Structure 1
Amino acid sequence: MHAGGRTAVEPDSAPMAEDTQFRIASVTKPIGAALTLGLVHEGLLGLDDPVTEWLPELAGHRVLTAPDAPLTSTVPAVREITVRDLLTMRSGWGVIFEPTPLQREMARQQVSPGPLTPPMTGDEFVARIGALPAACQPGAGWLYDTSMDLLGVALERATGTSLARLVADRITGPLGLASTGFRATDPARLATAYLPGPDGLTVLDPPDGMFAAEPTFRELSSGLVSTAPDLLRCFTALADGGAPILPAASVEAMTTEAITPAQRDQGVPILGPGLSWGLGTGVEIAAAEPWQAPGAWGWTGGTGTTVRVDPSRELVGVLLTQRGMAGPQDGFDSFWSAVATA
């Protein structure tokens, strides 16, 4: 474990410490997947259950005739969306890079994926998504992010329990992760978050900002705050077979490629070389970079965080920074290369 630098760019800011908290952004997704698969293992829901049982706002949803079609050019969905569709990012809603009518309307409705939590409740988020046509049929295409937020609301409704309590009871409690949750336990320990730009770094969220209070919308896609020791403990538990939060078979299912080659190609702008998608986490399928290895898995967060499990090297690595990513491929190759070499 190594902590370097300071918690903010100001020279009088506190030095970084091992227990400094970070907004881990999309590193939340594998933790959310583990939570979901634990509920599946206990029979509280099934991977192939239609989510309209808990998200009736998505019942009878429409699908665009083409991803760039006008919002009025739609056809009925050929089937209902399932829990598996949400874990595999195949609901039909998500990140759209091209300037399409759906992309513009998602931005107008404030439901586009981004670095901070949408300013609404989870119920309102689902309602706004359900009122929009999907870009593709359920299970047909890979679109990043939105599915996991829909899943989080589904889990709350399916169990009658808040996402914060589910995470506490089923993930952080059993593993003893005292510094992981949907808000900073002590804002004084929370590092300032920055975004890079042409004129340098700008503040995305200060320590007393959005993550200093209970959120109105707990995002399963990107809502957690955590520390390096907590994440090492969590992902090491999963790497060692999943106990006490998951059986080994569930970890294997989670970390096995679950999308088609065509869907993987569709996701390349986000996934990058050598990487595909399992159930809520990235999975490596080829050594496109020297540090990669088929069978390794993990994910990165847009706020500058990354976690990777590499069974071939018997390692679990965590890097938490406060510099947000400038784009999907503004990644951590140099860090993972150094780790693999070591």
Structure 2
Amino acid sequence: MVGMTNPLLPILEDHVSRGTAPGIIAVRGRPDGPDEVVTAGDLPADAIVRIQSMTKPIVTVAALRLVQDGRLGLDDPVARWLPELADRQVLRTPTSSLDDVEPAESPITVRDLLTNMSGYGMMPAPCPLQDAMIANRTQARQEPVALGAQEWLDALADLPLAFQPGTGWRYHHSFGILGILLSRVVEGSLEDHLRTDLFEPLGMVDTGYTVPIAQAHRLPAAYRHDESGTLVEIEPAAGGFSVAPAPFDLSHSELVSTASDYAAFARMLAAGGIHDGRIVIDAELLDLMRTDQVPAAAKAEDSFFPGFWNGTGWGFGVAVVTEGEHAGRYGWSGGQGTDFHIDPDGTFQIVLTQVEMGEAIMELFADTV
């Protein structure tokens, strides 16, 4: 239902009037009740949006379903399916020159991918490895991926790891690798597998790696704030990278979805991994997903943005609040201004824009907590 008295509505309208985003969608729900959907501005409730890193929890659940089916083990070396990543070389320090390496002491495992501890990931400060990732087009950016899945994996495999697997944390790339791994395990299209294994059972009818041409009118433009705070369009409505057909294999890339689709996914998690009386993800695996899995020694201050680890941990594919009034909350955001979280009492919230993450969007998320 559209909640005209929902307390989120004046917050969203205020942010639209301030220029935070042209339009905003918010959803609040719980496993045993109807969702409350609030919209402000020109983003309709049925818009198909670029969810970017909110893809990570979905790919995580897909991986954990293969674990519970016995087709994948958390401590399996990924080189079993990804021989490109066998026999890794590791930088002696994350900022070392690319030839200052030593052999990996252990293989990269599935668990390492789920926890962002594979040794691959974003280098937040200038260093030789960051330069090399920019040069071979594997450095993560807000823009769509520049390489197809195999070409991207090959380029990544040409680089050393930033640290020994399982000993440090760097964001993002582990989940691109995980997507390719899943496609190898199922021996086919990852999108087809996600559709039959998750999307169709959960009723996520508009979620995929691209928007079908017939539905392209539901894809809004994407924006960022320039230095003056003015919204600048960076991808057109009804066009661009996210409209089918895909230019190449997107197993390492990120999804598009809708408020109602992602609410169905969040509701399943909030219900303890159950949908319509059917176990989607075992309770034991769900507990691992929503519990901090990163040891204190791996939470380096310079591993992500400043202050990230203050009262925060990382489970499998989601951030976890470890202290304070929201302890036990878990969820994640997407770089194009999207966010979701689930609280221990089963309530969940989703906020969707199509504005690149920045100070204004972070203020929006803080105001809607």
What is the TM-score of this pair, normalised by structure 2?
A: 0.83
1:202 partnered with 2:232: yes
The SS at the match of 1:93 is: coil
The alpha carbon displacement at 1:264 in A equals: 2.8
1:238-294 Cα deviation digits (max 9, x unpaired): 11011242122221111111110122344452735322100111111012xxxx511
The code of the aligned residue for 1:34 comes to V
The alpha carbon displacement at 1:329 in A equals: 9.2
The SS at the match of 1:170 is: helix
What is the TM-score of this pair, normalised by structure 1?
A: 0.89
Matched residue, 1:154 = 181
1:228 corresponds, among 256, 259, 265, to 259
Structure 2's unaligned 5+ residue stretches are 4-8, 24-40
1:175-206 Cα deviation digits (max 9, x unpaired): 01111111123110011111222142222222
Q: How does 1:255-266 map to 2 (within 5 A)?
A: 255-266=290-301
The alpha carbon displacement at 1:75 in A equals: 0.5
8 Å contact from structure 2 (residues 339, 365) kept in 1: no
Q: How does 1:266-277 map to 2 (within 5 A)?
A: 266=301, 267=303, 269=305, 271-277=308-314
1:242 corresponds, among 273, 293, 300, to 273
Q: How does 1:83-162 map to 2 (within 5 A)?
A: 83-162=110-189
Write the distance in 1 (CA, Å) between the matches of 2:194 and 2:178.
14
Change (3 A) 1:326 1:126: same
Deviates further, 90-99 or 207-216: 207-216
Write the distance in 2 (CA, Å) between the matches of 1:18 and 1:195.
21
Deviates further, 296-305 or 191-200: 191-200
Matched residue, 2:317 = 280
Write the distance in 2 (CA, Å) between the matches of 1:303 and 1:232.
18
Matched residue, 1:187 = 216
1:252 corresponds, among 287, 290, 311, to 287
1:89-146 Cα deviation digits (max 9, x unpaired): 0011111111100001101111011223322211111111111011101001000000
Matched residue, 2:358 = 326
The SS at the match of 1:29 is: helix
Write the distance in 1 (CA, Å) between the matches of 2:366 and 2:157.
41
The SS at the match of 1:212 is: coil
Matched residue, 2:29 = none
Write the distance in 2 (CA, Å) between the matches of 1:318 and 1:310.
12
Write the distance in 2 (CA, Å) between the matches of 1:98 and 1:329.
23
8 Å contact from structure 1 (residues 310, 316) kept in 2: yes
The alpha carbon displacement at 1:166 in A equals: 1.5
The SS at the match of 1:44 is: coil
1:34-56 Cα deviation digits (max 9, x unpaired): 11100111011111000001111
8 Å contact from structure 2 (residues 53, 332) kept in 1: yes
Deviates further, 66-75 or 195-204: 195-204
8 Å contact from structure 1 (residues 182, 214) kept in 2: no
8 Å contact from structure 2 (residues 124, 304) kept in 1: no
The alpha carbon displacement at 1:334 in A equals: 2.8
Q: State the aligned residue count.
A: 327
The alpha carbon displacement at 1:328 in A equals: 12
1:6-43 Cα deviation digits (max 9, x unpaired): 9x959xxx942211111001111111111110011101
Write the distance in 2 (CA, Å) between the matches of 1:300 and 1:22.
13
Structure 1's unaligned 5+ residue stretches are 338-342
